[in-house]
Structures are given as structure tokens and as C-alpha cells.
Structure 1
């Protein structure tokens, strides 16, 4: 193979150098020309020539390559994603998961510039850096001028995500998802239920078409009792999040199931620089307490060992007339340490418990007729209980030539019990239509990958290969017709579900020069489904017993990156993704159309016209093939045809002065169902126009804050657009006074107290004793809600 591995010298072995540089003491075989009267002079000249040859080759060996590691000066842990620039020549590398960077050929007299968002820029010469390959960078207030547009980054959203997390922070669990430009969420079943997600013209439901991960653990639950891909991220404590990486579209070979509109990875901090205690309290009987503490001292930190724990408890009655009595408890702990010269071990454990009552969705007609208040409830028994416990072990091994080997094992124990009533007395005019969805699940998984950088001539080649395996074992997945929460009227679905999926991928990145980079990837996924039906009355199946099906899919990806200037990157991404289907759909349809293929294309650019302005814009296209869908609320299997979407995204980040940061995102999507006639082919609830943005103020005196907005335009609520899901414009305000030892602050949601509808659906409903009505049912968004907090740092 022609590839030259990292760090391999261009000269011969040490023994060969000794042969070149050695001078024999005997002259028996010396040619006669060297036996003249000027013999000593000639010998001296020859010796000098050989010494110069050796020294030049040794110098070349020293200057032919350069490698190093970047660590955080406060936590002493490696920093991933740091931009290292070698000038002159403007050669760029990005640190890997272990903080390593590498240059094949550096020459003499070069300058190294180390840049990372939220850190002081560091400049050194190659001669100085050779003496200290471990380089500590110092945290500082984030500056947009620190952002480097690099063709080495295979993620065009890298700069945006880094800036947003550093500048805006994460104040609550909902803000975790809102970090993705163009992503909107809606809550319609109380604070303990996963949010409804909207992105790129998709109503992703609770995660059907978007893949979410936390430290490599999949958040989505396949064949869930409520919805395929159900993704409840509330087990993440917001203050533990160090960074968020995301990609729109299905262009990453590493990502498999549910990667249709994109994927989001949440990364918790490997170490914390200080302890924190935080207390919050506000309207609607809302309060929260948080503690984050280091469990090891400074001596352990110096030895590359970190262990901390975080825990939170939250309670709220919320703004509804029917108190939610919402409770959530979270605990999280993480160990990250260097256990040998080449191995880093990361261990995490977390647990979540949450319970709540919900006001649910209210028909517009009932409010207009005065039968229920805007913030009222028609069935006060709605709500649920859920829990999730995670154990996660990751081993990062540095092999020869700085190759990386990653191994991850994870386990989750998950329980879910939800009570809903969407139609009230439509079907059962006596008992009502309340349903119960319940499951208990064990989730086992493994992720493994090998990362190698080398050279094919002067072309830098990066290889990333990996495998994923996941086993979901769900006992007694249940859908029942109930009354008063726990009284059974009739069972609808009951069975055990087993889903095993395995995937393998390879991703090759070719950096041809400082301008052009090509990434090509290929992924294969195999699925095995088993459903043990325990209910003879289930009409979607052929009786009780075990149903087995399997399916597979191949997903190619290709990405082009062109570094037009040191301030401008242009990219074209093409890829195929997919979402899997519910095991009960596979059982009912004999495995037909089990995997829905999605085809995506993006053409975009990231550029900085001036050092204080960052812009990302893209036009995109998406196509989703036909699929069968399991209706978790009714236990039925529905069919939907092909859909097509296209649109554009525009994001801008501007920092006119060091203490002021302005951000704005504008998104447009045009979506239609391809198999339906014109005028009846709208995609219900699909976002059309949306925008978010805000102004953040950061002063050296400690005063800081932000004023933000969210805008979601009107959109069709049904296929012929005879019903409208009304848009909204909402503002939030955050004010803080931060000092080294403490912080006090105030957060206000819905600053101007507008009435808005957070989640909306076309629903046929019937109130008791009345006729059915087909219209929009909705959950109102929050009223003006103020929450104060005080934090102590030590």
C-alpha cells in the first residue's frame, strides 16, 4: 500500500543512517585519488560533506512531520475540534477525539496558531513547539473572531454549534434541542413527555425522523409504546453539557437509523473546573435545585483523572388551570481518566425519574363556545410516569502512528407509563376514550470505530470505519382503553418486542490540497424484529404467537468541501438515510416497506465577510419513500406515500463589539405529498417559515443577559389546508449578574405574555353528550413565567 502512516520518517532506518554517516579507519580499499599528497585535506572535506549530509537528513527528519496534543489548562483533559494552522502555507488540521493533531511536512521556520472557540489563541514557532508536544490552552470569554473557517472540518455547522453553546449556554432541558438552527419543539402532554420536534419541513413527531445521542448512547427508542423513535432527552442535566454537534440531512456514514432530517449529539463535560450549587424558584409554584461537585482533588487532575457528580430536582404546577404536580429527579456522574500511556477510560451513570399530570389538547371549538377555559383541562387524569437509568463505558486507545480505536458499551433500563385522551367521548360515549401506553425496556448496545490518518503521496487520507449493534428488549408493550387512569375497559395491543440492529460503515476523507476535500462513505444496516402477540383480539395480526421479520438497507454518502479562501468554505452534500419502522408494523405487513429510504442534498457555504460576522446558508432537497406507520395512540397501521421537501436555511452570528453577540436563523421549507392530487397534498403540521434569534450582552463587570425570539409561521393542519395550525412569535429574557464565586439571575419566558398555541393537531373530538367535531385541538404555550436563581461556585 502506498499510504505513508503518520509520523513515519522519509529517510532510512537508524542503521542505514549510521552506514551513511560512518567513516572507515582503514584506507585499503580507498581509490588512488584519495592517496595523493592532499590526502588529509580531501579526507577532511569528505568528512564534512558526510556530516552535512547526515545533519541535513536528520534536520529533514525533525522537520518532516509534527504532531502534538492540545489540553485544557483548567481541567487538563484533551480538547477535541481545535483548529491548528501552520503558516506560511495555511495548512490546517483539527484535533481528534484525544486532542491530537498532525502535519506531514512542515519545513523550517513555520508558525503554529492554535485556535478554539472559548480559548485564548496561542501562537508558537515549530522549533519551540517541538520541545513541548502537550500544549495547554487557556479558557477565555468567547469571541467570534476566534472562529476559523476550515476545509478540514467535515461539519459545516461546527462553528455555529461552538459559538451558540459558549455564548448562549443552556438554561433548561428544552434549550438543549433548540440549539439546532431551524429546530422547533412543542410540548403537548405535560413536562415529563418527550417534545414534538419539527425540522426542515418535517413533523418528526417525537423523534421518528431525527437521530439524537447523548455521549454516544441513542436517545431514541425504537418500537416505542407511544411513537417510533420516541426521544426523551430529559435525563440530560443541562449544566453538564459541554458541547453539541449536529448535522442536517443524512450525510454522515457514522449515523444510521432515524437519520433523515439530521442528527444531534450531546457531549457532557469530561471534567468541571469548579463546584456549583444552584437554586431556582418562580411562578406557578416552580422550583429547582442543582448541585455539581468534583469528587477528586487537584492531585488527581494533575494525573489526568477526573470524576464529578451532578444532580437536580425540579417541581412545578405549571401555568395550566389543572396543576401538573410535575416532578423530575436526575442524577449523573462521570469519570474520565488516563489509565495507561495510550488509554483513556470514560465511565458514566445516570438515572431519571419523572411524574406529572397533563392538561392535554383542547379543541378550539370547545374554547370558542366557552365550554372550557383556554388553559383548562377536559380530562384531568392525563399524565404519566417515566424513568430511565443509563450506564456507559467508553475506552479510547491511541495506537501506533496516532491512530484511534474507540470502544463503547452501554445499557439502559427504561420504563414508561402514559395516560392520554385526545378524542374524549368520540368512540366510547359512556366511559370516554382515555388510553394507557406502557412499556418496560432493556437496551443494550455497542459502538466501535477505528480512525486512521495517513498519506497517499501528498493527499491526506482519513479513514473512519466502525460497527454499531443495538438490542432492544421490551416486555409487555401495552395499549389499553382505560378510565380514571388505572381502571381497564378493554385491551387494544399487548406483546413483547425484540429489535436487534447491526450496522457497519466506512468513511474516507481525501484532502487533496489546502482547497479541496472529498468525503465518501458507505453504510450497511441489518434489522431483526420479533413480536410476541399476547392478545387474541388484535385484529391487525393473524392471532397470538411470535412474528419474525428482518430487513436491511445500504446507505451511500458523498460530501465535497472547497476552501475558496481562508474565510470561505463551500460544500455540496449528497446522501441516503432511513428510518426503521415499528416491529408491530413489520408483523402486520409481513416485513413490507420496513425501512423508509430518504435522499437528501445540500449546497451551502460558511463564510466570514469580516472577522466579527459568521454566515451559514444552504439550499436543500429531501425525498422520503413510502412507508407504513404504526399509530401508537390507536394501535393501527396506517399508510403514507412519498413526500418531497425543499427549502433554504440562513444563519448569521455577529459580534460588533466584544460584549455584544447577535444571532439569527431563518428557515423555509416547501413540502408536498407526491402521490396525492394537487390541493390535497399538503403535509400536515410541516413547518414552512420559521426563525429564531436574539441579542446577548456580556460585560466585564459581570452583568449579562439575552433577549430572544421564536417565530413559527402558519402551516397546514391537514392535507387540503382547510385547517390551519396558527403560528406564533414569543420572546424570552435572561438577566444575570455573574461573579467568580456566585451568580444571581432572572429568566422570563413569554416576556410579553402573548397567547400562543405550542402544539396543534387536526383531531375529531366529541364532548360528553354532544356531536363529533372535526377541527384543531391544541396545547397552549406558556404564559408570562418568571424564574429567579442564585448559584454559588467553589
Structure 2
């Protein structure tokens, strides 16, 4: 093997770790954003970093759409814009994020034991213009990735310095309006950055959404490229009226339009405040990073998915609440070393997250007024984690790593609902050890192959780990493990003849011990069978010339339950995405920036027998910017350019409308597909003034 200096090994190591680790807080590093994975430094075929110019130019209907910069990810919505997106990836309907871990500026986004659903990942507090980098990893193959990362993980970094202060006003269809002002000021190695965002939107719905959102960010950073720290404060608040999914039959009959609502009082409020800090030190002896954060979070959501099925008099609306404080810290260290005379690098760290949930509740309501308490719990849970990963370079062509992660979850549930609260209370713990490994082989300077494997997990709602009685029926309920295990493997190839062209292909498989989840909409648990998922993904990143970039992603997957199905059921994992295709062209030349993106979400089974399938969904968005002069930039975004009438989400279940109650046709409910349409063609115009 060629003799490489200690400093060169550090450069290789830091380049690869930058793909998933957050960049240092320094202005010059944040402006560049994370480096993409490359031959010689990548650890798998399915890790990478999105090009900042591309994901910033891409039109975004909602803040969470930025996560579609991760190949194979689809972000939709089945309710109001103040609620978390619905995510799809690798054969998962991830609901609101249960198996896809997200971080913003080092802070976790996913919420365990959430009032609406486990792993709830609400990105509506995000200000997309402040995002300096989007890096991602897929699969449970890396020791520093923990809860909610079975399918993958994404890290979104914020700038610490901006090129110039600016103010931008955006006006659009459906009474959309947005004002954003941001700027930074640096004196020597000290930088202040601030941003304020105000948003209003009614949407295309017959019942106006009346979204009102306010955002603010303030950051102070200090240091050099080798040592520094940053402290960041964020505040977010929104309220909205939601149009939830409706039965297809009421649209087909003409009783309701595609954009109509069966309950005009659905909607909610959400707020999030946070304070975080990070410190780093880089030297020839290694790199150390320390992060800490505190988050205050409040959430109220009123939903109605079955209308008058369960309560023909008052209706089936319910309220879900979440009041919590989140605290956390993590520290990591990476240093070069030698194993049996071979060069390598050792990474290790520790993580802690503590959620103090003062109220996580479920209530029956009528027009947002509480009628009865289904669950009201006070929950405390702590997840402690340690990990280590050893990278070894065997020779010029071969390198590999092994890792080990340990997690301990402690939890305490205090039920406060007067009938069953005490019976569903309790405390406990769960532990898990997860091995990881990977191997890379450089066939030629332009071709590299990867083999990765590892175990991982997602935590379950801990109320499901202490439950004994179903609060809806009073019948005995099955408990679930607090940590649900999974294991996966991947075989990949990367072709990279130069810096302008990268192609990857990955064959992957993932096995879950159980699809068990706590169902927040019902206040009880649903034990499920184990499942197997497998698929193939391909990506193309091509910088055709200085002005033109082409991005293409395609993913096929298959998801099935294992074993013999119960009577009346099949082995299809319902709502598991089977096909995703995304393609985009970005043009940046002189005063012009333009981006055209197509996203296709294929049909999927809506029941376990595959007797009902969703329709396909194809969306085309266009964005363009023109710099009139050094101060003024004008912009136009057109969403759903082709005017398609697709659906953002489809479900299949039983419901009953008020008219059906009066007609006496409900019975035990009418099974039907329930849809939430994607928004029709709309446009937004913007004017940005740079000072």
C-alpha cells in the first residue's frame, strides 16, 4: 500500500464524515455546505449530499419539500400545512417520519411518544433559504445513527453567515403571502445572523386554510476553520384550518368537490422554541464535536377521519395534544490510528435525549370542544446511546469499517384519565445492541463497489409498552416492546469518472421484527407481523456544462409481511410505496436561474390483500429567478404545471357521513378509498431586494 501521511488520512476521513455529520459553524464552511460522497471516501452507495444550488433553486410548495433533495424520498400532505408532511421512502409509508430520522442544525426533528404519531417530524419551522446543506444516509449501517433511522437519515444545516442581507416578498394563488428578511454581520471571527419569516395562506380548499405562521432565527458564531462554536435560538408558531381526506364516493356522487371538507372545524396550532449550541475542534490529532439543545414544544390537532361512524350524534372529531420539553447532548471524537500496521480512523461518541412530556392526550371533541377524555398521560423518557466505529484501509483498493452501537431507553408513564389511567401507567426500560459493518472496493479510479449491513431500531410510543386496557373499549390490550428491531443490508456501485458526473445503484433489503406501532388516532396499540422489504435505487448527477445540471432518481421496492396471514388478510404491507421517479433540470447562467422538476409516485396496495390500489401521482413544478440588477431579483414558481388531478395521499377504510346516517345506509361503516387531493396549478411571484 502506498504510504500516506497522517494528514492525508485525516483529510479522507473528514471528507467522508462530512456527508452525514453537521458542518462546523464557521461562515466559510457553512457557505460551502457538506461535500458529496465520492470514490475513495464514501462508505456506501446510498449516502450523499445534495448540491446547494440545485435544492435551493428547486420550487417548494411547503418547507418540508426540501427533504425531497434526498433521492427516493417523497413528501406529501394529507391535512393542513401546519401539520407534518407525509413521507415515503424505501418501501415505507413513513407516516410522519417513524423510520426516517431528521435533524436541523444538530437538533432532532422526530418526536417519540407524540400525540399524533410516533416519530412525528414537523419541518414547518424550517426556513429553506437558510439551509446550507442537505446530507443523507440510507439504511441502518452506521454507528452514529440511532432512533428512527432504519430507512435512512437526513441532516439539514443552517448558514452561519449570508452573502448579504435581504428582504423577500412573495405573493401567490389562493391568498398566499410571505415576507422573509434575513442578514448577518461579521466582525473578525464573530458573526451574528438573524432571520424573520411571516406566512399566510388559504390554499385551494373550499374552507380556507387561514394559515398564519411566524418564524425567527438568531445565531451567534465565533472561531476559525479549526476551532469554534455557535449558539442558535429559534422560535416558530402557526395555526391553521385543515381539510382532511374525504371518501371518494362523496366526490363521485357530486355531494362534495375535490377540495371540499366534511368538517370545517378541523385544524390545529403548533409552536416550537429552541436554544442550541455546538463546539468543534480540529487538529492533526483528530476532530471533536459537542452539541447540546433544549426545545419547548406545544401541539394541538383536531381531526376527523370517519365523520359519523362511531358517534352518529356528535361525530368522530378528536383532539390530539402534545406538551413537552426536550433536552439533549451529544459528543463525538474521530482520530487517525493504526490496526495491525494498517492505517485507519476510530470514531466514537455518546448521545442523550430526554423528553419531558407534561401532556400527551387524546380527546373526543365536537367543533373543537372536548366531550370526553380517551387518554391523558404524563410521560418521561430518556434514550442513552454510545457507539464506536473503526475504519481500516487494507490497501489502495480495499477499505472497511465495523461499528457497534448500544442504546438504553428508560421510560415512565403516568396515566391521568380517571377510568383506565392508573391501569395503563407504568415504567420500564429496554436495551439494544446494534452491530454495523461495511466494505468498499475500488475497481478503477472511476468505479467503486460497496457492501453494507447492520442492525437498527425505531422506538415505539412508550404508552404502548405500559398499556393493559384499550381505553376505547375497556378490553385487554397487548403491550409492545419499547424498541422495535430491524436489520438491513445493501450492495452498491458508484461510477464517478470526474467531478461532474456521478451514478449510483444500490440493491437493498430490510427486515423488521414487527410492524407494531401505537396508534395515536385510537389511543391503543396495533401489534403487527414482521415484514421484509427489498428494492433497487439508482441516481444520476450530471453537470452537463457550467450552466446546466441534470438530476435523476429512480426507486423500486417490494414490501411484504412474513408468515401465514390471518384469515381475511394478505401479506401486502398496505400503503407501502412501490415506485418513485424524480427528475430535474437546473439552469444557472448570468442573471437567470431556472429549475424544472418532475416527481412520480407510483400506485401501491391500500389493503393487505392488494385488492384496492392507489392511483399514480405525477407532479411537475417550475421555478425561475431573474436578477434585474445587483439589488433586485424577481421570481416565479408554478406548482403542478400540467394541472394534474392526482392525490397526495390515499387510504382505504370504513367511514360514514352525516347524510348516510340520515339515510340509514351506514351499517358498520362503508369501506372506501379516502383521498386528499394534491393542489391544482398555482403560481407564486416573488421580489427579493439585496442590500
Give runs of aligned pairs for residues 547-696 of structure 1, distance below 5 A: 547-588=426-467, 592-609=480-497, 612-677=500-565, 680-696=570-586
Structure 1 residue 436 corresponds to structure 2 residue 326: no
CA distance in 1, matches of 2:20, 2:673: 50
CA distance in 1, matches of 2:558, 2:171: 42
Could you report, residue by residue, the CA deviation over 1:391-432 in whole angstroms, capped at 9, with x for unpaired residues? Answer: 101111346x43222222100000000000000000000000
CA distance in 1, matches of 2:23, 2:521: 45
CA distance in 1, matches of 2:125, 2:495: 36
Give runs of aligned pairs for residues 393-542 of structure 1, distance below 5 A: 393-398=277-282, 401-456=284-339, 459-485=342-368, 487-538=369-420
Secondary structure in structure 2 of the residue aligned to 1:239: helix
Secondary structure in structure 2 of the residue aligned to 1:175: helix
Structure 1 residue 285 corresponds to structure 2 residue 285: no
CA distance in 1, matches of 2:81, 2:246: 17
Structure 1 residue 178 corresponds to structure 2 residue 68: yes
* 1:606–1:617 Cα contact (<8 Å) kept: yes
Larger mean CA deviation between 427-436 and 753-762 belongs to: 753-762
The one of 250, 253, 265 equivalent to 1:369 is 253
* 1:595–1:627 Cα contact (<8 Å) kept: no
CA distance in 2, matches of 1:241, 1:285: 26
CA distance in 2, matches of 1:518, 1:207: 30
CA distance in 1, matches of 2:586, 2:194: 30
Secondary structure in structure 1 of the residue aligned to 2:251: helix
Pairwise CA distance, 1:214: 1.0
Structure 1 residue 726 corresponds to structure 2 residue 644: no
Task: Note closer, same or farther for the CA distance 1:789–1:147 as it changes in structure 2 (3 Å cut).
Answer: same
CA distance in 1, matches of 2:179, 2:645: 29
Could you report, residue by residue, the CA deviation over 1:22-44 in whole angstroms, capped at 9, with x for unpaired residues? Answer: xxxxxxxxxxxxxxxxxxxxxxx
Task: Note closer, same or farther for the CA distance 1:97–1:708 as it changes in structure 2 (3 Å cut).
Answer: closer
Pairwise CA distance, 1:654: 2.2
CA distance in 2, matches of 1:761, 1:581: 23
The one of 140, 154, 165 equivalent to 2:43 is 154
CA distance in 2, matches of 1:246, 1:315: 31
Pairwise CA distance, 1:164: 6.8
Task: Note closer, same or farther for the CA distance 1:691–1:96 as it changes in structure 2 (3 Å cut).
Answer: closer
Match of 2:203 in 1: 318
Q: Which has the larger radius of gyration?
A: 1
Larger mean CA deviation between 343-352 and 455-464 belongs to: 455-464
* 2:133–2:158 Cα contact (<8 Å) kept: yes
Secondary structure in structure 2 of the residue aligned to 1:422: coil
Pairwise CA distance, 1:352: 0.6
Task: Note closer, same or farther for the CA distance 1:504–1:669 as it changes in structure 2 (3 Å cut).
Answer: same
The one of 118, 135, 147 equivalent to 1:245 is 135
Task: Note closer, same or farther for the CA distance 1:531–1:356 as it changes in structure 2 (3 Å cut).
Answer: same
Task: Note closer, same or farther for the CA distance 1:66–1:415 as it changes in structure 2 (3 Å cut).
Answer: closer
Structure 2: runs of 5+ lacking an equivalent = 469-477, 661-665
Match of 1:73 in 2: none
Give runs of aligned pairs for residues 222-261 of structure 1, distance below 5 A: 222-261=112-151
Match of 1:24 in 2: none
Match of 1:48 in 2: none
Task: Note closer, same or farther for the CA distance 1:449–1:159 as it changes in structure 2 (3 Å cut).
Answer: closer
* TM-score normalised to structure 1 length: 0.79
The one of 707, 720, 739 equivalent to 2:596 is 707
Pairwise CA distance, 1:457: 6.5
CA distance in 2, matches of 1:328, 1:64: 52
* TM-score normalised to structure 2 length: 0.91
Pairwise CA distance, 1:451: 1.4
Pairwise CA distance, 1:254: 0.5
Match of 1:269 in 2: 159
The one of 222, 233, 243 equivalent to 1:359 is 243
Could you report, residue by residue, the CA deviation over 1:492-547 in whole angstroms, capped at 9, with x for unpaired residues? Answer: 00110111110000011112233211111100000011110111333xx6637x41
Secondary structure in structure 1 of the residue aligned to 2:527: strand
* 1:627–1:641 Cα contact (<8 Å) kept: yes
Task: Note closer, same or farther for the CA distance 1:64–1:381 as it changes in structure 2 (3 Å cut).
Answer: closer
Structure 1 residue 198 corresponds to structure 2 residue 78: no
Number of positions where the alignment pairs a residue of Structure 1 with one of Structure 2: 668
* 1:149–1:567 Cα contact (<8 Å) kept: no
CA distance in 2, matches of 1:560, 1:164: 32
Task: Note closer, same or farther for the CA distance 1:516–1:407 as it changes in structure 2 (3 Å cut).
Answer: same
